[in-house]
Amino acid sequence: MAEINISDLDFNSIKANFIEYMSSQDEFNDYDFEGSALNILMDLLAYNTYQNSFYLNMVANEMFLDSTTTRESTVSIAKHLGYVPSSISASKAIVNLDVSTPLTEDVQNISIPQYTTFTTTQNNVNYDFLTIDQHTSNSYTDLNGKRTFHFTGIEIIEGTSYEFNYIVNINDTEQRFLIPATNVDTSLLTVNLATSYANPNEVFTYTKAENVVNLTGEDKVYFLQEVEQGKYEIYFGDGVLGKKLENGNLIMMKYVVTNGDVANNIGVNETASNRTFSLSSPIPYGNSTTGDVDVSVTSIASGGTSGAESIDSIKFKAPKVYERQERAVVVDDFSSLLQEKVNNIGAIKIWGGEDNIPAFYGKVFICIKPLDGLKLTDSEKNSIKTIIQKYRVVTISPEIVDPEFIYMGINSTVRYNPNLTPKTAGTLQTEISNSMINYGIDSLGKFDVDFRFSVFTTMIDDVEESIVSNSTNITLKKKIYPLFNGTGQTFSMSYYNAIEPGSFNSSEFKVYGDSKTYYISDDYNGKATLMTGDTVVNVNIGSINYGSGVIDLNPLNIETSEMEDSVDFTVVPLGSDVKGFNEQILLIEEADINISVIRDS
C-alpha cells in the first residue's frame, strides 16, 4: 500500500503523492482522478498542504536571526541579545551667533533657550534646525550703539520638537508608554518624571539605561525598545533594576522628529552676504526680545541618516553586541560598541597601539570616516569619548584620530581602434573617466582597501570594445594643512608604501617675510630640498625614507599656498599596487585624473 510522501513541498509533487495514495485504496481503484470531480478535491488538498507547509516554513524562518525577513521578528530576536536597533538620526550643524542689543539697555548676558528655532531652505524645501541645549554668553563687544554678544560652536539639529505626557495607572496591566511618532531621533529623547499630575514641579530626570551591571532599585533610568510600525516604547525598572513607577506618576517625554539625511550638506555654499540660517524664534533678554542676529556656519550639516537601522545591519551587529558583553577590551569590542552607539559612521578602523607606527602600548586608536564629509567634528569626537568611557577598562586609553586621505593621481594614455566604434575620442575619454571615478567609489574610499593596478587597468580596457590598450601611471598625493598664523610648523607624513627615489615634490607656497615662491623637492638620497625656481635654498629641509614612505620636514613658516588651504605633497609609489594601512583611505577624484585617448596606429 502506498504511503503519502510529506517531504515534497512542490504543489505538483504533493498532488501526485495524494493521487498515488488514493489510487492504492480499494475504494478508489476504478476512479479516474484526472477526469472526475476528484481532481478538484486533489487540487484543494494539494493547495491546502502546500500553503500550510509554506506558512510553517516561514514561521520557522522568523524564529532565527539568520533567516528572518520581517523587521518585527528581527527586532524581537535582537532584543533577546540585548540589542536595540538605532533610530533615524538628525542632521547637525555647528554655528556661531552674534546677538545684538541696544547699548543703552546695558544687558550683561544673554541666554539662547533650548529648542530655539532656525530656518533654512535647500532645493526649495524649508527645514527647521533647533538648539538642543540652552546656551549663555557674557562675552560681548560694544560698537555703534549696540552691544553684541558672541556665541561660538553652537550645535543645532534638524527637526521639530514635540512633547507627550502619560499618567501612570498601575491598575492598567496593558498600559504602554509609546513615543507617538515615527522618524524620531531617540538620541535626542529626554524623559522627565513628576511624582504626580497635581505636583508637576517636583520633577526628576531619567536617563537611558545603557547596561544593568551597576543598576540598583533607586536608579532613575528608563529602557528603550523598538515596537510595531517603526515606533519606540520606553519602559521603566521593576524596583530591582531601576526605580519602579508609582501610581499617578506623570511621565513627560520631549522628542524630535527629523527628516534624516535630506538636510545633510546644508551650509556648504554659505557666504558672508548669503547666510544659510536665519532665526525664526526670538531670543529673550530682560523684558525684550532681539531680532538682530547674525548666524554663521562653522561646520556644514551632516550626520543625518535616511531611516532606522536596516534588517541586514541588525543581523550583523546584534550578535557582536552580545559577544561584547557590555565592555570594551579588545579591538572588536570597540568596533561593535561604536557601530551600535554612533549613527554617523561611513567607515571605521580600530587598531591596538602595538600595531601603530610608532607603537603606543596601552592605547587603542579609533578612526572614523563619517557618512558625509571627511572627518568628525569636535563635538562628535567628544560624544564618542563619553560613550567609550562607560565601557573601557582602566588600563586602555582610547585615542580618536582623523582619517588620512591619499589622493591617487591617474595619468593614462589609451589607444583605441576607430573602426570598431562610432564614438569619438572625447566620448571615450568621458566614459573612461567616469569608470575610474566609479571604481574609486565602489572599490576604494574605505579602510583596509588596497589599490590593485592590474584590476584597474583591466577595467579601463573593458570600458569599450574598441580600446586596444592603455599605459597608466599613478601618483600618490597627501594634503597638509598649515596654520598660516606666523608660527613655524614641522610636518610629518606617511604614505605607508615604498616610494621611488626622486619622486617627492610639493605644490608651491610662500613663507612669512619673503615674497619668493618655494616648493620642496627630492635629492634622490633621502633628503628633502627647499627650492625656488631652479635654485636650491636649503639642501636638507627634511628626511625621506623611501622604504617606508615616511617623510619628516623641518619647521616651515608658511604664509600662503597656491592650493589656498593646503600644501600638496606628491610621490610615485615604487610598486604598481598601493596598500591601505590603519587610518589611511585611498581616494580617486575627478581633478586628479588625466586621460589621453589616441588612435591606434
Question: In this predicted structure, what is the pLDDT of residue 291?
Answer: 55
Question: Between helices 11-23 and 38-61, what is the axis angle to 10°?
Answer: 130
% of the chain exceeding 70 in pLDDT: 97
Q: Cell numbers of 156, please? A: 543645532
Question: What tens digit of pLDDT does each residue of 458-470 get?
Answer: 999 999 999 999 9
* Cα gap 443→460, rounded to integer Å: 14
Question: In this predicted structure, what is the pLDDT of residue 427?
Answer: 94
List the CATH code of the domain at 325-402.
3.30.300.200
* Cα gap 266→303, rounded to integer Å: 11
Least confident of 124-133, 200-209, 265-274, 539-548: 265-274
* Cα gap 236→218, rounded to integer Å: 11
Question: What tens digit of pLDDT does each residue of 291-325 get?
Answer: 567 677 666 777 777 778 889 989 988 888 887 77
Q: In what order do the strands lie in the sheet with 397-401?
A: 347-352, 363-369, 397-401
- pLDDT surpassing 70 at residue 6: no
Work out the mean pLDDT of the chain and round it to a whole number.
87
Q: Give first-to-last CA distance, the chain, whole Å.
A: 80
Question: In this predicted structure, what is the pLDDT of residue 393?
Answer: 79
* Cα gap 294→272, rounded to integer Å: 10
- Rg of the chain over CA atoms, in angstroms? 32
- pLDDT surpassing 90 at residue 353: no
Q: Cell numbers of 493, please? A: 607624513
- The β-bridge relationship of strands 404-416 and 593-599 is parallel
> 456, exposed or middle or buried, with CB in 10 Å at 0-12, 13-18, 19+?
buried
Question: What tens digit of pLDDT does each residue of 18-77 get?
Answer: 777 777 777 777 777 776 677 878 888 888 888 888 788 888 888 999 889 889 999 999
Question: What tens digit of pLDDT does each residue of 193-245 get?
Answer: 999 888 877 899 999 988 777 789 999 999 999 998 889 999 999 999 999 99
Question: In this predicted structure, what is the pLDDT of residue 3?
Answer: 62
For cell 541696544, name the residue: 102
For cell 530591582, name the residue: 240
Question: In this predicted structure, what is the pLDDT of residue 292?
Answer: 67
Least confident of 8-17, 398-407, 470-479: 8-17
Question: In this predicted structure, what is the pLDDT of residue 459?
Answer: 95
Element (H, E) at 361: none
Q: Is the peptide bond before 102 cis (omega within 30 degrees of 0)?
A: no
Whole-angstrom CA distances from 524 to 91, 451, 498, 578 are 49, 26, 14, 21
Question: What tens digit of pLDDT does each residue of 87-103 get?
Answer: 999 988 888 888 888 88
Task: Give alpha helix (H) positions in 235-377.
Answer: 311-324, 331-341
- C-alpha of 160 from chain center: 22
Largest CA distance in the chain: 112
Whole-angstrom CA distances from 337 to 347, 385, 440 are 14, 12, 29
Q: Is the peptide bond before 358 cis (omega within 30 degrees of 0)?
A: yes
> 500: how many CB neighbours lie within 10 A of its CB?
15
* Cα gap 582→354, rounded to integer Å: 12
- pLDDT surpassing 90 at residue 509: yes
CA atoms within 13 A on the CB side of 329: 5
- pLDDT surpassing 70 at residue 5: no
Report the candidate in 255, 254, 251, 236 with the shortest Cα–Cα distance to residue 193: 251
* Cα gap 354→337, rounded to integer Å: 21
Could you tell me if 157 and 229 are in contact, meaning their C-beta atoms sit under 8 angstroms apart?
Answer: no
24 versus 435: the higher-pLDDT residue is 435
**Which residues fall within 8 angstroms of residue 238, CB to CB, at 6 or more apart?**
244
Q: Cell numbers of 144, please? A: 555703534
Could you tell me if 314 and 83 are in contact, meaning their C-beta atoms sit under 8 angstroms apart?
Answer: yes
Question: What tens digit of pLDDT does each residue of 532-572 get?
Answer: 999 999 999 999 999 999 999 999 999 988 888 889 999 99
Question: In this predicted structure, what is the pLDDT of residue 8?
Answer: 64
* Cα gap 503→505, rounded to integer Å: 6
